[in-house]
Structure 1
């Protein structure tokens, strides 16, 4: 297996819940460090690799490192565990899923239980909600659960790993957005190995806590104070069943990266990205955002005195489930588009509308 694919599987299969990203960040840094001049991290764990740290003009390429998860909220006297969301976890998909509790004693296995269909007489009144989903770890009392190291605040993740489908797709949990961390690291590696000399400082940022409000990006933007920020995240593939294209637009996995229009996206920067895509014959799609993109783009754009920011999205099927899917060609084209942009960005380019 090639080293980049080995890294992809190791990184995606590792757990990195919001607020507990440490182990994933270590894997990411171990892969990135040979390809940058220096690196640093901040208080909450956002990791940054830097090329040309002495340069005054600073360019960021960014993804977020955290995944949705659960927190233990309440343990019943007979050993059942109730949880609350850490990020946008979906109650509907929880029943029958296997989970891992991350305790100081190590991983503890559990399952989201659910009554059999035979006894659900009134389907309307029995749907998964925050009030009725529960986890069973094979204990018959609260004391037994606590003896395993489980307590309120223990973080819980789904037990699923990355797989390949039909040679075209990767599928698994947490592609939102550790696939982004893979893409920015891979773009950096290729630039280094191809001997590309950038005339500016490149800051490769893997931010924490995006899933609870773009928190990591807000913190690191204030520290770096970049001139330009290119954020990569996932967006919805709206061509699979049950999506409404009138509401969510028309994006499809396999047709290329998605470039978003919106107030936080700087039009001059977006135009430059599109020009690079067209020149290099990289396919792309377009989308629009109402008010905010909902990604770390917003955090960078409105930081400091304003940062020229843009979003390159990867079409994703089944967001916030354990079977998220991305097309391999889209992953490759996001990497190519970022590299193309970085190699053609003039040193000190002024993106202001009025000069």
Structure 2
């Protein structure tokens, strides 16, 4: 991975982006793409659209969502403890004892989120799965008035952002879902921009995927692509307790995952697989028999329909503070997407 690409990845992972509050990370994206994109725009929804060769007759869209799951401040009690609801799909047990950050208009405020200590739990409470209502945020304030002078109802909350490199070129951080997918889309555009493109390529940093694929819906309508490839994370199954019979045999470090199934155009999928073999890009194959719960879903049914592909990054421990991916997998995914658009002449027929 080139140093400039690695620096961009670190900036993405060090920037908060809970759904509905993606402006900071979109600023990072805009700053990076202006050096190689022919045009950069932001629509009214907040999607950032970077394009190369935008006037071409055939348009290809890469979609990678920039938003992460988070929380939203809903109440401050008289003693200065803060309650919040979730943004996106949380397992409440993942939140117990976590270091958090509340993102206020004046800047970040460190917080912790916890519950009553185990020593004080009743027998019934010890047997029960924790509920969000049982958790609260603590910033160390003395009372409600002190908190209210700093934090407002509706301020977003995220896990403390922390990037850690692991052994064997793996890395762990909150929000790998889907900042690594976003990185792949933007980096693929940068790599493809150095070649003679015959098609228009639109790399879109989509918003609000975690609350219903909303940014992909609006940006795809605006771009109106003929071909679309979504890049998101998928569950790695190379850790204990996951059933490979249904989830597939997916491992970190074995390459990006190319999905097959009714949500994916078979011609696009076949071309991705063929290019991966031709370019000797390590890859894995997975399948989904339903509409997938990511931006590929919205892409496929945009307007009169889009020839859609899905390339995914294996991710251990999704929607947690310790999501883990392979840096080699994301680098290879960027190479695959760049090879795909470079190979197009603009006359290909993607009719199934």
Normalising by structure 1, we get a TM-score of: 0.95
Contact in 2 for aligned 1:75/1:142 (Cα 8 Å)? yes
The Cα of 1:289 is off from its aligned counterpart by 1.3
The match for 1:71 is 72
CA distance in 1, matches of 2:3, 2:311: 26
The match for 1:261 is 260
Contact in 2 for aligned 1:70/1:89 (Cα 8 Å)? no
Gapped regions of structure 2 (runs ≥ 5): none
Partner secondary structure for residue 35 of structure 1: coil
Mapping for residues 69-218 of structure 1, pairs under 5 Å: 69-122=70-123, 124-148=126-150, 150-192=151-193, 195-218=194-217
CA distance in 2, matches of 1:137, 1:125: 29
CA distance in 1, matches of 2:155, 2:246: 37
Contact in 2 for aligned 1:93/1:321 (Cα 8 Å)? yes
Partner secondary structure for residue 82 of structure 1: strand
Structure 1 residues 243 and 166, CA, compared in 2 at 3 Å: closer, same or farther? same
Contact in 1 for aligned 2:188/2:337 (Cα 8 Å)? yes
The match for 2:226 is 227
The match for 2:308 is 309
Partner secondary structure for residue 4 of structure 1: helix
CA distance in 1, matches of 2:188, 2:225: 19
Partner secondary structure for residue 78 of structure 2: coil
The match for 2:347 is 348
CA distance in 2, matches of 1:279, 1:115: 57
The Cα of 1:125 is off from its aligned counterpart by 4.2
CA distance in 1, matches of 2:225, 2:191: 22
Mapping for residues 234-245 of structure 1, pairs under 5 Å: 234-245=233-244
CA distance in 1, matches of 2:70, 2:42: 23
The Cα of 1:190 is off from its aligned counterpart by 2.2
Number of aligned pairs? 350
Gapped regions of structure 1 (runs ≥ 5): none
CA distance in 1, matches of 2:133, 2:175: 24
The one-character-per-residue Cα deviations of 1:223-276 (angstroms, maximum 9, x if unpaired) are 111000011110000121222223322211111111112221001111111111
The Cα of 1:36 is off from its aligned counterpart by 1.0
The match for 1:320 is 319
The Cα of 1:337 is off from its aligned counterpart by 1.0
The Cα of 1:167 is off from its aligned counterpart by 4.6
Partner secondary structure for residue 131 of structure 1: helix
The Cα of 1:277 is off from its aligned counterpart by 0.9
Q: Does 1:40 align with 2:45?
A: no
CA distance in 1, matches of 2:309, 2:229: 5
Question: Which is worse superposed, 106-115 or 13-22?
Answer: 106-115
Question: Which is worse superposed, 87-96 or 205-214?
Answer: 87-96
The Cα of 1:30 is off from its aligned counterpart by 0.8
The one-character-per-residue Cα deviations of 1:188-231 (angstroms, maximum 9, x if unpaired) are 22233xx3111111111110010001000000111111000011
CA distance in 1, matches of 2:95, 2:130: 8
The match for 2:13 is 12
CA distance in 2, matches of 1:282, 1:215: 32
The Cα of 1:9 is off from its aligned counterpart by 0.8
CA distance in 1, matches of 2:20, 2:202: 22
Question: Which is worse superposed, 117-126 or 130-139?
Answer: 117-126
Question: Which is worse superposed, 63-72 or 83-92?
Answer: 83-92
The Cα of 1:54 is off from its aligned counterpart by 1.4
CA distance in 1, matches of 2:190, 2:302: 28
CA distance in 2, matches of 1:115, 1:297: 41
